[in-house]
Structure formats: structure tokens, C-alpha cells
Structure 1
Amino acid sequence: MSEETVPQQGGGEARPKGLLQQMEELMAALNADLSALDADLQAAGPHRSARPAVEERGVEPPEGAGVV
């Protein structure tokens, strides 16, 4: 199946979109969602990773955690 024959959902345009254009649109939407999530998290308070919070409470991670 070529890029030109990829089925289009929604049928908003007469000409089917190429795969590259679809991927660019999906990446733009994902970036917008991530930006909104980042703004929400920044508004919620200072950025802290989960790791220091666990170490501050004195909780040990499970054996093998983080081992690659």
C-alpha cells in the first residue's frame, strides 16, 4: 500500500494525506498535549523526581530496580 492509498479517517479533505503529513500532524498534537501537561505540572508545584522523595522517606527500592 503506498502513501497515497492510506485510508483517511474523517473524510475532511478530497485528497488523501501522505503518511509523512499524518505523522507530522500526530507529532504536533502530541507536542501540544505534552506542553499542556508540562504547564499543569509546573503549576502544581516545584519539579521533583520520584527517586529523591523515596530516598527522603527512607524507603528502599525493590531488589533489582533500576538494574539494566
Structure 2
Amino acid sequence: MSEESVPQQGGPTGRPKGLLQQMEELMAALNADLSDLRIEAGFPPEESQGA
């Protein structure tokens, strides 16, 4: 796969983000979405489960 087919996403400074940073941002967004779904489904928030 050539670099031309992979879009480069710039951060606030315009520099491309590292793969690790992109993955961390995606995981944070996914966790937030899953927390919202748990609440909508009537499950208690994970913080109150004592785990």
C-alpha cells in the first residue's frame, strides 16, 4: 500500500498523528459510546459496580 492511499490526519499543529495517538483517541471515543449505551440500556454505571 502506498502512502498516497493512506490519508494523513494532522493534529492541532498540522503534523500527522502517530498511530498510537490515533488508537488512544478511538478507544476513548468507543469507551464513551459504550458507557452511554450501558446507561441507556438501564445498566448501572461501571464506577458503581465496585470492580
* Coarse TM-score class (shorter-chain normalised): 0.5 to 0.7
| Structure 1: stretches of 5+ with no match in the other structure | 44-68
Structural RMSD (CA): 2.1
Q: Confirm whether residue 7 of structure 1 aligns to residue 3 of structure 2.
A: no
Identity %: 68
Structure 1 outlier segments of 4+, above 3 Å: none
Gaps of 5+ in 2: 44-51
Higher share in helix: 2
Max Rg structure: 1
TM-score normalised by length of structure 2: 0.61
**Comparing both chains, which one has the higher relative contact order based on Cα–Cα distances under 8 Å and sequence gaps of 6 or more?**
1
